[in-house]
């Protein structure tokens, strides 16, 4: 299998966590990729008409997006542990999955605005993101009350990807740790899970690959 990959993408991280959880990571070759919403790349469009990463090449198919890749690795190739078969457990997992993915999307848009020239930044979009964040974290804090007793599933994977991306890109912009103690306690605890510890973000463009070497 081949994965169009970047160590800076929260959606790629979801796929990587699923690959570790299912024990399939050793079968996946990583293809370093740069994806930008403003400059779609031909090599990505050839495998994903949306021009986004991650994309997994497996069984002669190009599989996208991150949710489909996680489903393929876990339910088609693995035991299905990340996608509960009980409808109520699955509904809960999918709601948390949506919450995590939604936060990742919001953060990606926020980063795009922030990296624009000051005069081109949209104050309206930045204000909208700032208004949503407390609501998202209140919902996460409520969900986190059950995290200690739930089997690990795709909802937790998506939330880890989003919170990890927040720490990576916005380490001092949104101080949630003291305000949301249940979520914060779980976040500290989950860092030692092997699939989480093995997939931390780094910026290969800044590190010049040093971080990648340290991890191999």
Ligand X SMILES: N[C@@H](CCC(=O)N[C@@H](CS)C(=O)NCC(=O)O)C(=O)O
How far apart CA 200 and CA 207 sit, in angstroms, is 14
* Nearer residue to ligand X within complex by CB, 55 or 180: 55
Phi first, then psi: give them for residue 147, nearest 5 degrees.
-60, -35
Output the smallest distance, CB 15 to ligand X, in A: 8
Strand order through the sheet with 55-58: 29-32, 2-5, 55-58, 61-63
Chain residues in the site for ligand X (CB under 6 A)? 9-11, 35-37, 40, 51-54, 65-67, 108
* Nearer residue to ligand X within complex by CB, 109 or 132: 109
Output the smallest distance, CB 68 to ligand X, in A: 8
Output the smallest distance, CB 147 to ligand X, in A: 22
Instruction: Enumerate the β-bridge partners of residue 30.
Output: 3
Phi first, then psi: give them for residue 102, nearest 5 degrees.
-65, -40
How far apart CA 12 and CA 56 sit, in angstroms, is 10
How far apart CA 90 and CA 99 sit, in angstroms, is 14
Output the smallest distance, CB 39 to ligand X, in A: 8
How far apart CA 34 and CA 95 sit, in angstroms, is 29
Output the smallest distance, CB 185 to ligand X, in A: 27
Q: Is the peptide bond before 162 cis (omega within 30 degrees of 0)?
A: no
* Nearer residue to ligand X within complex by CB, 40 or 185: 40
* Nearer residue to ligand X within complex by CB, 46 or 146: 46
Give the largest CA-CA distance in the chain: 51
Q: Rg of the chain's alpha carbons, rounded to an integer? A: 17
* Nearer residue to ligand X within complex by CB, 67 or 180: 67
Residue-level length of the chain? 216
* Nearer residue to ligand X within complex by CB, 163 or 180: 163
Output the smallest distance, CB 64 to ligand X, in A: 6
């Amino acid at each position: 299998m081949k994965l169009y990959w970047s160590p800076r993408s929260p959606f790629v991280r979801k796929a990587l966590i699923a690959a570790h959880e299912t024990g399939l990571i050793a079968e996946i070759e990583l293809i370093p990729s740069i994806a930008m919403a403003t400059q779609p790349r031909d090599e990505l469009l050839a495998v994903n008409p949306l021009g986004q990463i991650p994309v997994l090449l497996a069984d002669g198919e190009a599989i996208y997006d991150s949710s489909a890749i996680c489903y393929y690795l876990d339910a088609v190739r693995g035991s299905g542990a990340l996608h509960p078969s009980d409808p109520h457990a699955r509904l809960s997992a999918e709601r948390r999955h949506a919450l995590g993915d939604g936060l990742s999307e919001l953060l990606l848009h926020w980063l795009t605005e922030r990296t624009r020239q000051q005069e081109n930044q949209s104050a309206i979009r930045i204000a909208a993101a700032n208004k949503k964040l407390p609501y998202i974290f209140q919902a996460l804090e409520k969900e986190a009350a059950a995290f200690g007793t739930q089997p690990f599933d795709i909802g937790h994977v998506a939330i880890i990807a989003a919170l990890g991306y927040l720490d990576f890109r916005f380490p001092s912009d949104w101080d949630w740790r003291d305000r949301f103690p249940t979520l914060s306690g779980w976040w500290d605890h989950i860092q030692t899970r092997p699939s989480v510890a093995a997939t931390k973000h780094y910026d290969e463009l800044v590190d010049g690959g040093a971080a990648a070497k340290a991890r191999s």
